[in-house]
């Protein structure tokens, strides 16, 4: 079973700083926070083939409620906790589809999202799933299992980041490189989160801090990771996001072609030579320009970064 573990912090929606994405989501409509309509489990349009789903629902089975929206199915205890999750999930689906300029994949299967509220229930699920005790959530085989304590006010782009992973799993079922998967999730969720907040009257802009020269990972090192390094997690996520942002905002059509090529397991060097022949013809040229770009807080123009 292919699992992706992550530490889910208690955060939900606080603005960042600085603008500049190629995404055009500023005018996305705001979805009203109408309560999710409950659906009997037997009436759900799709069941979750992930065996972890069955283990989750076996914990206090009488407490679980169910609902679904256009692209997701939810399992939860209280509707007022699940409803904001559903709004953000559908919002991010639309943002990712728009950014990728792709229609819904044929035969697409809805992603299941399991929302635990009780810490003891979550610990029981961790034991059943043989998860590490520090995990605050798990993205497994296209399903998301999270803990959301209703007594906390959530902030940040963490949930959006994980929703992007769910959607990317559906568009690219064969998988994409780890730096691209994490970098794209950060890139989309930060920009979408800021847009989501601006639509609600906040002065919100995406922001990514500069990477100190002594912390910069050479591209061959970054590209080789199959899992975020425990000793440089923050740098890995930050640098991956900055690399995706540079490639996407330098030439959006070329980036989408490169993404498709990498999803077919084509080497990055080959993709750069084919889709960025004058800007980033090799990994070494890309690294030279990327070092300069990453050394500045996001907000410096690409034209300035590439000079």
Domains (range + CATH), the chain? 3-171 (3.40.30.160), 208-306 (no CATH)
Please list the pLDDT of the chain residue by residue as tens digits (307 residues). 444 444 333 333 222 222 334 444 433 434 445 689 999 999 999 999 999 999 999 999 999 999 999 999 999 999 999 999 999 899 889 989 999 998 877 778 899 999 999 889 999 998 887 776 656 678 888 899 988 877 765 556 778 888 899 999 989 988 999 999 999 999 998 887 667 666 666 666 667 788 999 999 999 999 999 988 888 988 999 999 999 999 999 999 999 999 999 999 999 999 999 999 999 999 999 999 999 999 988 653 333 334 4
> What's the CA gap between 125 and 59, in Å, rounded?
7
Query: How far is CA 287 from each of CA 181, 284, 302, 303, rounded to the nearest angstrom?
Result: 19, 5, 15, 16
Instruction: Give phi and psi for 236, each to the nearest 5.
Output: -60, -50
pLDDT given at position 29 = 39
> What's the CA gap between 158 and 26, in Å, rounded?
20
pLDDT given at position 103 = 82
pLDDT given at position 126 = 86
Dump the DSSP string for 230-263.
TTSHHHHHHHHHHHHHHHHHH-HHHHHHHHHHHH
> What's the CA gap between 165 and 138, in Å, rounded?
11
Antiparallel, parallel or unpaired: β 143-147 and 137-140: antiparallel
pLDDT given at position 257 = 97
Q: Which two tokens stand for residue 197?
A: 């907040």
Q: Which two tokens stand for residue 58?
A: 């076996």
Dump the DSSP string for 9-52.
-S-----------S---TTPPPPP-PPPPP--GGG-S-----HH
> What's the CA gap between 51 and 53, in Å, rounded?
5
pLDDT given at position 284 = 97
pTM score above 0.85: no
φ/ψ bin of 298: left (φ > 0), alpha (ψ from -120 to 50), beta (otherwise)? beta
């Amino acid at each position: 079973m292919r699992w992706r573990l992550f530490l889910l912090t208690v955060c939900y929606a606080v603005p960042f700083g600085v603008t500049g994405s190629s995404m055009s989501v500023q005018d996305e409509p705001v979805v009203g926070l109408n309560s999710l309509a409950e659906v009997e489990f037997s009436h759900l349009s799709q069941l979750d083939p992930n065996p972890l789903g069955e283990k989750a629902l076996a914990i206090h089975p009488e407490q679980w409620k169910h609902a679904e929206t256009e692209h997701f199915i939810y399992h939860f205890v209280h509707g007022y906790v699940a409803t904001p999750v559903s709004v953000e999930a559908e919002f991010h689906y639309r943002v990712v589809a728009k950014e990728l300029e792709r229609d819904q994949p044929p035969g697409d299967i809805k992603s299941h999202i399991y929302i635990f509220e009780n810490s003891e229930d979550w610990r029981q699920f961790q034991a059943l799933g043989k998860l590490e005790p520090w995990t605050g959530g798990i993205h497994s085989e296209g399903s998301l299992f999270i803990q959301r304590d209703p007594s906390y006010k959530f902030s940040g782009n963490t949930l959006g980041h994980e929703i992007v992973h769910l959607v990317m799993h559906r568009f690219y079922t064969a998988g994409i490189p780890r730096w691209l998967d994490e970098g794209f999730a950060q890139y989309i969720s930060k920009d979408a989160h800021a847009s989501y907040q601006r639509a609600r009257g906040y002065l919100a802009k995406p922001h990514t801090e500069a990477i100190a020269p002594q912390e910069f990972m050479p591209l061959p090192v970054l590209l080789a990771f199959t899992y975020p390094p425990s000793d440089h997690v923050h740098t890995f996520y930050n640098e991956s996001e900055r690399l995706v942002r540079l490639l996407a905002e330098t030439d959006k059509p070329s980036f989408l072609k490169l993404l498709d090529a990498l999803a077919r397991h084509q080497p990055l060097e080959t993709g750069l030579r084919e889709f960025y022949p004058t800007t980033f013809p090799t990994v070494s040229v890309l690294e030279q320009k990327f070092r300069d770009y990453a050394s500045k807080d996001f907000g410096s123009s690409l034209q300035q970064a590439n000079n």
